[in-house]
Chain A
Amino acid sequence: AAGVIQSPRHLIKEKRETATLKCYPIPRHDTVYWYQQGPGQDPQFLISFYEKMQSDKGSIPDRFSAQQFSDYHSELNMSSLELGDSALYFCASSLDRGNYGYTFGSGTRLTVV
């Protein structure tokens, strides 16, 4: 079965650079969520989209933005990167706003140096 695809798997950026993470949800899933997991931490919710509209917003810094496109894939754009942005970034997708559970991608490990 198709899963949630995230790219790239690993990314190394320097401070103040920008990064774009991509997420391709499971076909026919209408909701996408982004989570950030710092070292030794539990995943923290950043933002979600339902039917291409922003649905909910968590602890997402103003330097970050995200959108969901017409084909339902989503991109998380991160600017003016800081060392503290180094983390594992997960995307998850669901059908009908999570009423059938969430499926997580394998994550993108971002390292800011």
Chain B
Amino acid sequence: GIQVEQSPPDLILQEGANSTLRCNFSDSVNNLQWFHQNPWGQLINLFYIPSGTKQNGRLSATTVATERYSLLYISSSQTTDSGVYFCAVERVNGNQFYFGTGTSLTVIP
């Protein structure tokens, strides 16, 4: 399979702070998505971003496919941002997602 590593594994932020989450992967991919798993277990799709940069409100993501990494930026964090953030990738010619081990984010008031 493909190795997907996320860092940091845990992150505690004060409300209003900014953060960068990283996802490294070991092979060429044609699909990369960032998910937020909320405390109720729901996996919320944040970005479909196999390459390039996207922004959605306080969140943005950048994938540099040639260097096999992706970054998720969270600005002005809020307590509702707490949860686990997963990066998941699909290899070129593959047909399944491989999840990283996640970054557990806690935003404190």
List A residues at the B interface (Cβ < 8 Å): 31, 33, 35, 37, 42-45, 48, 50, 55-56, 58, 88, 90, 92, 97-104, 106-107, 109
How far in angstroms is the closest Cβ of chain B from A59? 10
On whether the beta carbons of A98 and B95 are closer than 8 Å, the reply is yes
| B29-50 near A? 1/0 per residue, CB < 8 Å | 0110101000001110100100
Chain A CB within 8 A of B99 CB: yes
Which one of A33, A42, A50, A109 has the highest number of Cβ atoms from chain B below 10 Å of its Cβ?
Answer: A42
Enumerate chain B residues within 8 angstroms of A102, measured Cβ to Cβ. Answer: 31, 33, 45, 88, 97
On whether the beta carbons of B96 and A100 are closer than 8 Å, the reply is no
A48-B96, A98-B90 known; A103-B101 Cβ under 8 A: no
How many pairs of residues, A versus B, come closer than 8 Å at their CB atoms? 56
Q: List 7 A-B contacts (CB under 8 A).
A: A31-B95, A35-B97, A42-B102, A45-B97, A56-B95, A98-B31, A106-B41
How far in angstroms is the closest Cβ of chain B from A4? 10
On whether the beta carbons of A90 and B43 are closer than 8 Å, the reply is yes
A98 to B99, CA, bound (A): 15
Task: Tally chain B residues at the interface, Cβ within 8 Å.
Answer: 20
List B residues at the A interface (Cβ < 8 Å): 30-31, 33, 35, 41-43, 45, 48, 86, 88, 90, 95-102
Enumerate chain A residues within 8 angstroms of B96, measured Cβ to Cβ. Answer: 33, 45, 48, 56, 58
Enumerate chain B residues within 8 angstroms of A56, measured Cβ to Cβ. Answer: 95-96
How far in angstroms is the closest Cβ of chain B from A57? 9
Enumerate chain B residues within 8 angstroms of A88, measured Cβ to Cβ. Answer: 41
Residue from the list B41, B45, B99 in contact with A42, Cβ < 8 A: B99
On whether the beta carbons of B43 and A107 are closer than 8 Å, the reply is yes
How far in angstroms is the closest Cβ of chain A from B96? 5
How far in angstroms is the closest Cβ of chain A from B5? 11
On whether the beta carbons of B30 and A33 are closer than 8 Å, the reply is no
A67 to B95, CA, bound (A): 17
